[in-house]
Amino acid sequence: MGLPWIEPISQKFVTQVGLITSDGIDGPNIMACKWTHHISYNPGLIAISLGLSKATVKNIRNTKEFGMNLCSTDQSILSSIAGEYRGSSYDKIGASKELGFEYYKANKIKALMVKGASLNIECRPFQE
């Protein structure tokens, strides 16, 4: 099956959307990442594919940590906000809170975690 880059048909080929939370000089951030995959049980590894221009990449490189929150079915609007705006110029966490989405403090990392997500995992980069 061919999925040509940028074609509308390719844009529809979404599996499960990861909401990647991070923290950095612009404050807490969230980004939508459909290229989120579980790739190993032991050690537990998740692969996320991020465009290098993303504010999230800068945050993860600086802090060496991030949150992986699998989007639940009632969080599609949150996925749109997280995926349509840049954290460097827009407070996506603040805007989503105003719409009623909630976050909680992580145990081991500074990034906020998405309340009500299908799965929440606090992550540290293993390899870039």
Site residues (vs ligand FMN, CB under 6 A): 14, 17, 29, 31-35, 49-51, 54-56, 79-80, 82-87
Q: Between 79 and 96, name the residue whose CB sits nearer to ligand FMN.
A: 79
| Residue closest to ligand FMN, measured at CB | 83
Cβ-contact 95, 107 below 8 angstroms: no
* 47 three-state secondary structure: strand
Q: Between 34 and 116, name the residue whose CB sits nearer to ligand FMN.
A: 34
Residue type, 71: C
Report, in Å, the least distance between residue 18 CB and ligand FMN.
Answer: 7
H/E stretch holding 63 reads: helix 55-63
Report, in Å, the least distance between residue 46 CB and ligand FMN.
Answer: 12
Token representation of residue 28: 């807490």
**Structure-derived torsion over alpha carbons of residues 47, 51, 54, 58, reported in degrees to the nearest 10:** 60
Report, in Å, the least distance between residue 90 CB and ligand FMN.
Answer: 8
